[in-house]
Chain A
Amino acid sequence: MTTTSLLPRRAGSPATGRRRRTGSLLGLVAWLCGIAFFLPVAWMVLTSFHSETDAATNPPSVGAGISLHGYREFFGAAGGGVSPWPPLVNSLTASVVSTLLVLLLAVPAAYALSIKPVRKWSDVLFFFLSTKMLPLVAGLLPVYLVAQNAGMLDSIWLLVILYTSMNLPIAVWMMRSFLAEVPVEMLEAASIDGAGLATTLTRIVAPVAMPGIAATALISFIFSWNELLFARVLTGVVAGTSPVFLTGLVTSQGLFLAKVCAAATVISLPVLIAGFAAQDKLVQGLSLGAVK
């Protein structure tokens, strides 16, 4: 649409009219795709508000009455189930603390790699990315054995360490490109004024690179919050995270569709809210600027 307005000479020509028609048709296609991709999520949320009998019907009961049964079951108010709060708190702790650690380690590293290029900087960068190529599962057993001997099994802090290492490589990659955008003049001015590394990082680099830091934090939070394999293997009763809790809902007591959908909705909510709120940053962050 904007292109046609830029070309006033052509306005009204048959070609433009055709383009406008295809334009609105493509808009419609986009809307249909959007709805198709959203449909399973909409179905999950709708089912979570149904009673168990309305949830499992064929054909689907779209218009069935709203019931909070699934949520009451999930939060343990009805049926005296297991409380979901400890897993939710565990997930929050693991995700937030590991994200903070990731930033703490990635920002200086990316700073060294981008603003003051280290010799062989690209080799270092490849090393970071290559750690991401190794399937995590290949290092799982030694981690498990060490944790077992150190009495660290079923501890949320072990997950914090592992999630930090899991997200650090990608974070360094993302941060490097964001930090490359900090104007050199500002850094030179700071260096002339005698600012040290810490001051430069906190007073000059961090404010300029804030959107990038936010995007990196968001990605790191999402991947930590979502992680299942390590959490399942290394935690148990005390430190189980939300995804682990979710898998337990199905195996331990048969299937209650409304309850499972309610649980899936609640557990996805933090990521959904964060993701929706920071869509633009997500787009920016995922481009990783590696191609900027």
Chain B
Amino acid sequence: MPTRTTEPAPGATTAAVHRTGSPAARARRTGRAKDWARRAPLLPALVFLVVVTQLPFLATVVISFTRWNALAPDNRGFAALDNYRAVFTDPAMRASVGTTVLLTVTVVLVSLLLGLGLALLLDRGFRGRGIVRTLLITPFLIVPVASALLWKHALYNASYGLINGSLTWIWRLFGSDSPPQPDWMTDSPLAAVEMSLIWQWTPFMMLILLAGLQSRASDAVEAARMDGASAFDIFRFLTLPHLRRYLELAALLGTVYVVQNFDAVFTITSGGLGTANLPYTIYQTVYQSHDYGRASAQGVVVVLCSLLVATFALRTVSSLLREEVTA
């Protein structure tokens, strides 16, 4: 491996290749056989992903231009842009775009902030830190459907859920027999879904940020403290810049998963009361309206929107990788 330096960052080599040019010449000498040997281990994964994820999407694009409802199999044909027109004029579809954005942004931001706070707390030494970390990780390890069912039936339920039950209990402590008993899932359905998702995703954010905090060199912090820097200054000027990349990564991964959330919406509200997000809406178009053409058009629109977000997000990660190269 003549082109490889001892620097662990693999990109460094590529950068060096472009800079000096001589390894490129060397690569030409080693010939195509070696090039193939180098790429060969990559191929199975690449081919697999293209076949399983890209081909179906291509098929989705084709179907999106056809008139195809499974309930009327004889009436199939080329629909041009009819499905897309239906998607963009459908108020339910537009509403679900808004819901998806609101749900994702709220859940990712709140759990990121909570996760940051918890990671900072856990980064300090205190008695029983390991136990607290275990307690905090647990929500992430509960099967999402189970957690959705748990929130819906054991916590939110208006007549016997834990939240209203605790209110009754507290009010009784003070001698009152008329505690407030709100119906959480009908009064604030989207917040109910968001709450359960925040509970589930905060540990994920915390784990990533904790890993970030623990990879930080402690001597800079020590030196700053010796120089009399306040805790806030240390956080603002040392910890936060170091965590930036971890915060971006956590936000990116959280967004990828929360945008696609189906379990909580499906279980807690069944998409009712303005909680239907895009994945749930597509699911409904396929399995309730059986309108394959329109479902595909919805899918394509979702993908295009995601690509917009993804391009932005990937640019962030790409800056992340560039920093790795120059580091």
Interface size class of A (residues with CB under 8 A): 35 or more
Main secondary structure of the interface of A (DSSP, over half): helix
Q: Which of A191-250 contact B (CB under 8 A)?
A: 191, 197, 201, 222, 225-226, 228-229, 233, 242-243, 246-247, 250
1/0 per position for B43-75, CB-CB distance to A under 8 A? 011101100111111011001000000000000
List the B side residues contacting A228 at CB < 8 Å: 144-145, 262-263, 266
For the complex, what is the distance from the CA of A144 to the CA of B142, rounded to whole Å? 28
B52 in contact with A165 (CB, 8 Å): yes
For the complex, what is the distance from the CA of A119 to the CA of B63, rounded to whole Å? 36
B303 at the A/B interface (Cβ < 8 Å)? yes
List the B side residues contacting A7 at CB < 8 Å: 225-226
B292 at the A/B interface (Cβ < 8 Å)? yes
For the complex, what is the distance from the CA of A52 to the CA of B59, rounded to whole Å? 49
List the B side residues contacting A47 at CB < 8 Å: 154
For the complex, what is the distance from the CA of A105 to the CA of B52, rounded to whole Å? 14
List the A side residues contacting B310 at CB < 8 Å: 130, 133
Chain A residue at minimal CB-CB distance from B59: A142
1/0 per position for B216-257, CB-CB distance to A under 8 A? 000000100110000000000000000001100100010010
1/0 per position for B131-144, CB-CB distance to A under 8 A? 11111111111111
* Size of interface on B: residues with Cβ below 8 Å to A: 123
B63 in contact with A272 (CB, 8 Å): no
List the B side residues contacting A279 at CB < 8 Å: 133-134, 137
Task: List the interface of chain B (C-beta within 8 A of A).
Answer: 1, 3-6, 8-11, 13-14, 17, 37-42, 44-46, 48-49, 52-57, 59-60, 63, 118, 121-122, 124-129, 131-147, 149-151, 153-155, 159-162, 164-166, 168-169, 172, 199, 202-204, 207-208, 210-212, 214-215, 222, 225-226, 245-246, 249, 253, 256, 259-260, 262-263, 266-267, 278-279, 282-283, 286-287, 292, 295-296, 299-300, 302-303, 306-307, 309-310, 313-314, 317-318, 320-321, 324
Task: List the interface of chain A (C-beta within 8 A of B).
Answer: 1-3, 6-7, 23-24, 26-27, 29-31, 33-35, 37-38, 40-41, 43-44, 47, 55-60, 104-106, 108-109, 111-119, 121-122, 124-146, 161-162, 164-165, 168-169, 172, 176, 180-181, 184, 187-188, 191, 197, 201, 222, 225-226, 228-229, 233, 242-243, 246-247, 250, 255, 257, 260-261, 263-265, 267-268, 271-272, 275-276, 279, 282-284, 286-288, 290-292
